[in-house]
Amino acid sequence: MSRLTGVGVSSGRASGPVARVADPLPEPSATPAPTDPAADAARIRPAAEAVAERLFERATRVEGDAKAVLETTAAMALDPALTSQAEQLVTGRSMPAPRAVFEAANGFAEALSAAGGYMAERARDVQDVRDRIIAELHGVTPPGVPELAQPSVLLARDLAPADTADLDPSLVLALVTEEGGPTSHTAILARALGIPAVVAVRGVLGVPGVAGAIVDGDSGEVETSEEAVPAQAAERAAAKEWNGVGETADGKPVKVIANVGSGADARAAVAAGAQGVGLFRTEFCYLGASEEPAVETQRSAYHEVIAPFAGKPVIVRTLDAGADKPLAFLDMGVEPNPALGVRGLRVAFDRPDVLERQLEAIAAAAADSGAEVSVMAPMVATVDEAAWFAARVRAAGLARAGVMIEIPAAALSAAEILGAVDFVSIGTNDLAQYVFAADRQAGALAELNDPWQPALLRLIAMIGRAGRELDKPVGVCGEAASDPLLAGVFAGLGVTSLSMAAAAVPAVGAALAEHPLAAFEQAAEAALAAATPARAREAVRTVLA
């Protein structure tokens, strides 16, 4: 018996036999060089096609989000840039085919990781595709979730979207991962499925002979056992239906909207019933570009995301580049402390022309879309910065300007900032990182980046209060908004819209509809008064029981 603690990211308690998700294959060797490089290179494309075909086949058996994830991953396997780069490494540098795929894919994954945020999450997908193609070349079973013969607790290093897209929820009792944090795919998926999950359980993969486990998604405790443990599913509230209207039980509106980064994301958000877009991360349009994309290129990329939301609100965020999201064409130089450097709106102070061209493209994309388009800036620290940005947005002919609140100084000046803009949206991913001085990407600091930390909630309360006083919208668009229990707390703190990954939309919508606003306000008070994240969760659950 071994007891370990991680970060509980999806509530409930379950136990049962453990199914281990296979780790990626070991790094393929760079030697020996192929005797016939041309023949070895010729194996890569068919292997990638076989991987894509299998993923497309799995996609035919599921619907909605799962289908989109599998199709996106399959399309990544077929990316000609990846296969041709790998082929060139075999023919030009005499690398064995598996090593060439490894190197080529890693190049793409590194570029995505460097871009940070949403793009960094896509790096995991590229690594997933890489490992599938390498397994195909070796003729071995690909890593990932095994076929489950009985209800099981899944134990993994971390989970990629394609690992889990077609999971049968009736066979998964709980998820436990050694890596990952509160904003990981595992967390979002578990909440969407309504099963307990604990992430960042350091050392769990090193425990020998694990046969069963008891998982507590509230306290973050995981008890492993060498003996079989009988399957016991978490008590799941009857699958809640959501009518697609974001409001509390007493009809107080709280918009349930989506975070998107591409046309495919936008279509998935529509399918999930999102009432609009609360965060369109435009970085994707610039990614890997050695030159700034032309206004027309930007317009067309933005239009693809905005158009599915005719008649609905769409908040487009201007470029969030710099520091951990370096963009080659901006040539910002090396910074000693990147997370605290020239990033987000700060880039625009040096290069207002880049912002102006982006606003021109957004205005053009909005013009014939029928959507209610607003624009917001990332990484705003002061009211002067907010006012500077709003003036430029209005000069571009766009009606509504807002800013993200993700720097503690901005949270402390929320009232003044709201005076200068039409709305604010709280980026809990960065706000937590800056409040706790804890890198959001560092698994070892996942506990500090837990959005249930009362210190973070107290700052959000200040922003909510300012919004109510000035009667202006306050959104949350960090991943914290995808936690259905926390969603009610945010509503109680004065938040008027919640924006999240499409998969979380129905569960959050249903959770808001369960209680009147007064109950959420009481829950929020209880959370604010708690000393720790675990006690805050417990207190909220008690109030809403």
Residues with a catalytic annotation lie at 185, 477
Q: Tell me the closest approach of the beta carbon of residue 205 to ligand PEP, in angstroms.
A: 27
| Interacting residues with ligand PEP (CB under 6 A) | 117-118, 279, 281, 320, 406, 427-430, 477-478
Residue of minimal CB distance from ligand PEP? 427
Q: Which does 279 bind (CB under 5 to 8 A by kind): Mg ion, ligand PEP, none?
A: ligand PEP
Q: Which does 477 bind (CB under 5 to 8 A by kind): ligand PEP, Mg ion, none?
A: ligand PEP
Q: Closer CB to ligand PEP, residue 55 or residue 477?
A: 477
What is the DSSP pairing of strand 277-281 with strand 313-317?
Answer: parallel
Mark out the alpha helices in 333-401 (DSSP H runs): 345-350, 352-367, 383-395
- Can you tell me whether residue 17 is helix, strand or coil? strand
Q: Closer CB to Mg ion, residue 406 or residue 521?
A: 406
Read off the amino acid at residue 527. A
Alpha carbon of 367 to those of 68, 300, 362, 438: distances in Å? 28, 12, 8, 41
Q: Closer CB to Mg ion, residue 132 or residue 440?
A: 440
Which of 430, 479, 483, 521 contacts Mg ion by CB under 5 A? 430
Q: Which does 483 bind (CB under 5 to 8 A by kind): ligand PEP, Mg ion, none?
A: none
Residue of minimal CB distance from Mg ion? 430
Q: Tell me the closest approach of the beta carbon of residue 250 to ligand PEP, in angstroms.
A: 29
DSSP 106-167: HHHHHHHHHH-HHHHHHHHHHHHHHHHHHHHHHTSPPSBPPPPSS-EEEEES---HHHHTT-
Which of 427, 443, 454, 506 contacts Mg ion by CB under 5 A? 427
- Whether residue 317 is annotated as binding a ligand: the answer is yes
Q: Closer CB to ligand PEP, residue 224 or residue 298?
A: 298
Give the whole-angstrom CA distance, residue 513 versus residue 296.
42
Give the whole-angstrom CA distance, residue 189 versus residue 197.
9
- Residue 483 interacts with Mg ion (CB under 5 A): yes or no: no
Q: Tell me the closest approach of the beta carbon of residue 317 to Mg ion, in angstroms.
A: 9
CB 316 within 8 A of CB 282: yes
Q: Is 458 exposed, middle or buried (0-12, 13-18, 19+ CB in 10 A)?
A: middle
CB 128 within 8 A of CB 109: no
Residues near Mg ion (CB under 5 A), total:
3
What is the Cβ-side half-sphere exposure of residue 292, based on CA atoms within 13 angstroms?
16
Q: Closer CB to ligand PEP, residue 413 or residue 499?
A: 499
Q: Which does 281 bind (CB under 5 to 8 A by kind): Mg ion, ligand PEP, none?
A: ligand PEP
Residues 305 to 324 in contact with Mg ion, rule: CB under 5 A: none
Q: Tell me the closest approach of the beta carbon of residue 117 to Mg ion, in angstroms.
A: 6
What are the φ/ψ torsions at residue 19 (nearest 5 degrees)? -110, 125
Total residues belonging to the chain? 545
Residue 5: both structure tokens together: 């603690």
Q: Closer CB to ligand PEP, residue 395 or residue 409?
A: 409
Q: Which does 481 bind (CB under 5 to 8 A by kind): ligand PEP, Mg ion, none?
A: none
- Whether residue 392 is annotated as binding a ligand: the answer is no
Residue whose tokens read 């939309």: 505
- Whether residue 299 is annotated as binding a ligand: the answer is no
Give the whole-angstrom CA distance, residue 26 versus residue 287.
29
Q: Tell me the closest approach of the beta carbon of residue 477 to ligand PEP, in angstroms.
A: 5
The one segment of 3-11, 89-97, 391-399, 429-437 that binds Mg ion by CB under 5 A? 429-437
Give the whole-angstrom CA distance, residue 229 versus residue 242.
35
- Whether residue 281 is annotated as binding a ligand: the answer is yes
Q: Closer CB to Mg ion, residue 12 or residue 344?
A: 344
Q: Tell me the closest approach of the beta carbon of residue 460 to Mg ion, in angstroms.
A: 15
Q: Which does 478 bind (CB under 5 to 8 A by kind): Mg ion, ligand PEP, none?
A: ligand PEP
Residues 385 to 414 in contact with Mg ion, rule: CB under 5 A: 406
- Whether residue 430 is annotated as binding a ligand: the answer is yes
Q: Tell me the closest approach of the beta carbon of residue 178 to ligand PEP, in angstroms.
A: 23
Give the whole-angstrom CA distance, residue 86 versus residue 91.
9
- Can you tell me whether residue 302 is helix, strand or coil? helix
Q: Tell me the closest approach of the beta carbon of residue 115 to ligand PEP, in angstroms.
A: 10
CB 532 within 8 A of CB 507: no
Q: Closer CB to ligand PEP, residue 132 or residue 281?
A: 281
Give the whole-angstrom CA distance, residue 372 versus residue 152.
45
Interior/surface letters 238-273, b for 16+ CB within 10 angstroms, e for the rest: eeeebeeebbbeeeeebbbbbbbbbbbbbbbbbbbb
Which residue ranges are tagged as binding site?
281, 317, 406, 429-430, 440
Which residue ranges are tagged as binding site for phosphoenolpyruvate?
281, 317, 429-430, 440
Which residue ranges are tagged as binding site for Mg(2+)?
406, 430
Residues that bind Mg ion (CB under 5 A): 406, 427, 430
